Structure 1
Amino acid sequence: MGQFGLIAYGSYLPFQAISRQAIFDQIGWIQGGLKAYAKGKRSYADWDEDAVTLAVAAARQLLTTADATKVQQLSFASTTAPFLDRSNAGIVAAALDLADHTHCHDSSGSQRAALAPLVAACQNQSDGLLIAAGEKKPVQPANVMEMLAGDAGAAILTGSDNVIAELIATQSVRSDFVDHYRTAESGTDYVLEERWVREEGIAKIASPLIATILQENNLSVDDIDHFILPVAYPSHARAIARICGIKEGAVADALFTDCGFSGVAHPLLMLNDCLDRAAPGSLILLTGFGQGMDAILLRTTEHISDYQASITVQSFMSHLRIEDNYPRFLASNGQFHPDWGMRAERDNRTAQTVAFDKSRDIYGLVGGFCTSCETPQFPKARRCVNPDCNALDTQQDYRFADIPATVKSFTEDWMAFNRNPPLIYGNISFEGGGNMFIEMTGFAPGDIAIGDKVEMDFRIKDIDDKRGFHRYFWKAASKRQM
């Protein structure tokens, strides 16, 4: 049997982060003990991002290095998915414009939700499994998770060709140890005492599990080059490593200083960060904790030297825009409900019939390309929009989502309703032809200019507060300068 493992990966962090000191300056009078965490920054998603859009963004990063036709299954992993009874994975697949026969399923209910399908894939040797994880954790102001959490997306793809990290073995254990929980009624996490979680939970579960998987594969702790334990408190991984005898230099960066704990996405995000720097032949012990633990052994291959992620995790973290506006941060997380003015008093009900009929236009941003005059257009129509052509029924599918564009005109509208004012919109011109009037995102007020390079991002278009529905479309996002 040949090698089986990971053949591609992708990561995503939102455009902005907030200084933890800025958070503490506002809530320190309530919880003075949080001063210990008031260092560095934590990433946070804007109002028009959720777990689905974060997962889409990470998967799109992955698909810059892999052929989408290799994807046979899609597993969307999150505990903060916007829909309880709708296939969130189906939305991700539609945004990626995957084939209709792609098997899609949601994985949730535990911080191990992203590792569960990977464990199954390892046991079944399942080629073409795309695991896309996204987490936008709702946090209560002055709760410790407000300081520890961070929003992110991460994705991996399994296969047997040009494997960059071979899946060697897995081991799992279940234990209904409650370190935190969140219910539909509570809305945010209830977090239990840190020391109890570390000593009675993680340590007693992790130590025998790690010993077992190493012993069964004739390995020792000295063989581990990268030890990944994604937990909210960054010191816990080092403590568990000492208990297990794992060398300190093997403990993976918890990404606390510049990102924060991204929940379900964090095991994959930390793994991707390791893969960004790992040498061939490196042994990686990837674990995930949450009502038990998963342990997965991987070994990088010679192909890791030739693999280059489109944007590394470290590059994302080092290019975040730092905010110190705490109310803006709260509003982005739905924890601040100001009077947005009369222009916000509108019904955002989604026309589901139109959304279904135009699904590929809306979710995949697929337009048309005239085979007669080679003019791209959106939306696709029977007749070409080029007045010098006007050919009938010459349109081929043409996906605009992956094509760079340039700002032709823009308006920063401080009068229109937007949950992160101003509302920015205007005309963009795509490379190779095609124009679109569209909303823009990722720009700070005053930053946008005519001629700026933009790329398309899958975002929330509207939130129907009355019916609890997220409506999605694409926006022109500021091109990241890496």
Structure 2
Amino acid sequence: MKGIISYGAYIPYNRLQRKKIGEFFGKSGLSGEKAIAGYDEDSVSMGVEAALDCLKDVNPQDVDTVYFATTSSPYKEKGSVPTIAAALNLKKNVRGIESASSLRSGTSSLMAAKEEEKTLVITADCRIGGPSGQNELWFGEGAASFLIGSGEDVIANIVDAGSLQGDIISQWRSQKDDFTQNWEERLGSTSFLKQIKEALPPFLEKNDRTVESITKVIISGEGKRSHTQAASALGFQKEQIQDPLLEVVGATGNAHAPMMLVSALENAKPGDQLLVLAFAEGLDFILLEVTDAICGLKERKGVKGHLEVKNDQVLYSDYLKWREIIKIEPPRRAETDRPSAPALYRGSHQNLSFTGSKCRICGTPQFPKQRVCIQCQAKDEMEDYRFFGQSAKITTFTIDHLAASVASPIIAAIVDFDNGGRILCEVTDCSPEEIEIGMNVEMTFRRLFEAKGISNYFWKARPIRERESV
């Protein structure tokens, strides 16, 4: 029986308090906060971070297939799986499938994974709601990832799954829309309740389960109250309802139900029964049973770890600049021109997987790749060496107030890796007041810039804070 072997999640460091949105428009603010991707993050970079969390202690070369599910791809026409596969150091012949358009793409990808293969499912979304609207208040950003397969390592068996299709105009974004649009919320809620009442009772009966036997029900539906309405309609009690994370993260689109599933697995015990319900133009439902193997799974950052580390002082004006909703004065320095396609192609393995070289003679790691060792001058005695995952420290840094960035000032630093090697890179998720020499950092996959519609990705340093040392 196929099931989940491992899981991971990513929640951006930056959080926007909803009351700040209300204050901007002169309205009373709502409670809670939502996670927002930084100026250098998108669905691809967040998906990579969640997958890296999922693949901890897993050989990436063992992955046979990768699904990437999002409604907010950086491109309308161009795949993102090759970028993701390179960043994760997956094998070159890994099968790649991109699942888009529907908010059920993530759960549908989980169901589509084959038992005889190791499938990496990555879900991520970075949706934008129109300023002053309900979507802006409740949309959050983040990613979740699962490794699906079979065998003794499975921590949660997928007992059964199904779908119910139902075309409904409830929430949509056309090719021409800048923001997600909504019909009256009541229409979506009514359809959701009708579908779960139709699909779930026979599904539970088919699998010899009752409402009382379900440990946690994970519900991603229309609006803020859909999970409680649906749970009540089915007869679930309050303690059975998985926290939808709306007050601390927001509704994360394709990643919403998967992220809630990660949160449930973080606290699950062998024998627990988990039921996933995801609504969007129909319904996906998945029944899982937790196995004894979950006791041996090493801790991930997951949802719990990311929630504990945050910057909740982000200004609403910063959010508007990062999403290019408002125009700002052009940078003093010339804007970056379109990146060279041949250069990106030649350096894709080195730059996306963060792979340098290591001298076979003296053992010195170095980045970028070299033919001649900078230490012993041996020629053509190099082997590939991946810097990701290596502990590192800030050796020196500078703060650049003139950089062409929507998040000025930029922190540039020399980073020394404890096992050897040095790199000049940007430092992200860090304030100028916080940066210091000797600071412990880790590498994180980010979007450097977008020029002429082309996104350029590389690795930046990020401070390791107490809870991030998992």
TM-score (norm 1): 0.94
Alignment of 1:320-359 (within 5 A): 320-343=310-333, 345-359=334-348
Q: Shift in Å at residue 28 of structure 1?
A: 4.1
**Alignment equivalent of 1:294, drawn from 271, 281, 284:** 284
Are 2:104 and 1:106 aligned? no
Residue type of the partner of 1:470?
S
- Deviations for 1:1-49, whole angstroms, at most 9, x for unmatched residues? xx420000000011110111111111244xx6xx4xx111100001110
Q: Which residue of 2 aligns with 1:172?
A: 163
Q: Does the residue aligned with 2:233 lie in a helix, a strand or coil? A: helix
2:48 aligned to which of 39, 49, 56 = 56
Letter of the structure 2 residue corresponding to residue 474 of structure 1? W
- 1:406-454, CA deviations, whole angstroms, 9 ceiling, x for partnerless residues? 0001111112221111111020001200001111111023111111111
SS at match of 1:21: helix
After TM superposition, give the deviation of residue 324 of structure 1 in Å.
4.4
Within 5 Å, give how 1:271-282 maps onto structure 2. Answer: 271-282=261-272
Distance in structure 1 (CA, Å) of the matches to 2:357 and 2:108? 39
Task: Name the CA distance, whole Å, in 1 between partners of 2:173 and 2:195.
Answer: 22
* Paired position in structure 1 for 2:360: 371
Q: Distance in 2 between matches of 1:480 and 1:131?
A: 28
- Once the two structures are superposed, residues 119-173 of structure 1 have per-residue CA deviations (whole angstroms, 9 ceiling, x without a partner) of 122xx42421000111111222111111101110110001113110001001111
| CA–CA distance in structure 2, aligned partners of residues 309 and 288 of structure 1 | 26
1:6/1:366 CA distance change after superposition, 3 Å: same
Question: Residue 448 of structure 2 aligns with which residue?
Answer: 461
One of 72, 78, 85 as aligned partner of 2:64: 72
Equivalents in 2 of 1:138, 1:404: separation in Å?
A: 35
In structure 1, the partner of 2:143 is 153
CA distance in structure 2 between the aligned counterparts of 1:213 and 1:28, rounded to whole angstroms = 48
Do structure 1's residue 23 and structure 2's residue 21 form an aligned pair? yes
SS of structure 2 residue aligned to 1:268: helix
SS of the counterpart of 1:272?
helix
- Bigger mean CA offset, 301-310 vs 442-451: 301-310
Give the distance between the partners of 1:272 and 1:448, measured in 2 at CA: 32
| 1:253-274 superposed Cα distances (whole Å, 9 cap, x missing partner) | 0001111010001111000000
Distance 2:210 2:269 in 1: 19
- Over aligned residue pairs, what C-alpha RMSD do you find? 1.4
Give the drift of 1:196: 2.5
Correspondence 1:254-273 to 2 at 5 A: 254-273=244-263
Letter in 1 for 2:337: N
Tell me by how many angstroms 1:334 deviates.
2.1
Give per-residue Cα distances to partners, 1:350-386, cap 9 Å, x unaligned. 1110110111111111000111000000111221111
- Note closer, same or farther for the CA distance 1:472–1:324 as it changes in structure 2 (3 Å cut): closer
The AA in structure 2 aligned to 1:27 is: F
Is 2:186 aligned against 1:186? no
Report the AA paired with residue 172 of structure 2: Y
Asked whether the 8 Å contact 1:65–1:310 carries over to 2, the reply is no
Name the stretch that deviates more: 291-300 or 377-386: 377-386
**2: CA distance, partners of 1:232 / 1:471:** 34
Look up the equivalent residue of 1:377 and give its one-letter code. Q
**TM superposition shift of 1:232:** 5.5
What residue number does 2:462 align with? 477
Runs of 4+ in structure 1 off by over 6 angstroms are none
- Paired residues of 1:151 and 1:260 also in contact (CA < 8 A): yes
* Distance in 2 separating the partners of 1:468 and 1:480: 34
Structure 2 matches for 1:354-433, cutoff 5 A? Answer: 354-386=343-375, 389-433=376-420
Q: Residues of 2 paired with 1:8 and 1:452: CA distance?
A: 31
Q: Which residue in 2 is equivalent to 1:9?
A: 7
Give the residue type in structure 1 aligned to 2:78: R
Q: Deviations over 1:71-120 (max 9, x none)?
A: 11000110000012222111111111111010111001100011112112
The 1-side partners of 2:223 and 2:241 are apart by 14
CA contact (8 A) 2:443 2:461 kept: yes
Q: Structure 2: which 5+ residue stretches go unaligned?
A: none
In structure 2, C-alpha distance between the alignment counterparts of 1:276 and 1:297, rounded to whole Å: 17
Which amino acid in structure 1 is aligned with residue 454 of structure 2? F
For 1:91-130, list aligned pairs within 5 A: 91-121=83-113, 124-130=114-120
Stretches of structure 1 that go unaligned for 5 or more consecutive residues are none
Kindly indicate whether the alpha-carbon contact (under 8 Å) linking 2:117 and 2:149 is maintained by their aligned counterparts in 1: yes
Note if contact 2:107-2:278 (Cα within 8 Å) is conserved in structure 1.
yes
2:36 maps to which residue?
44
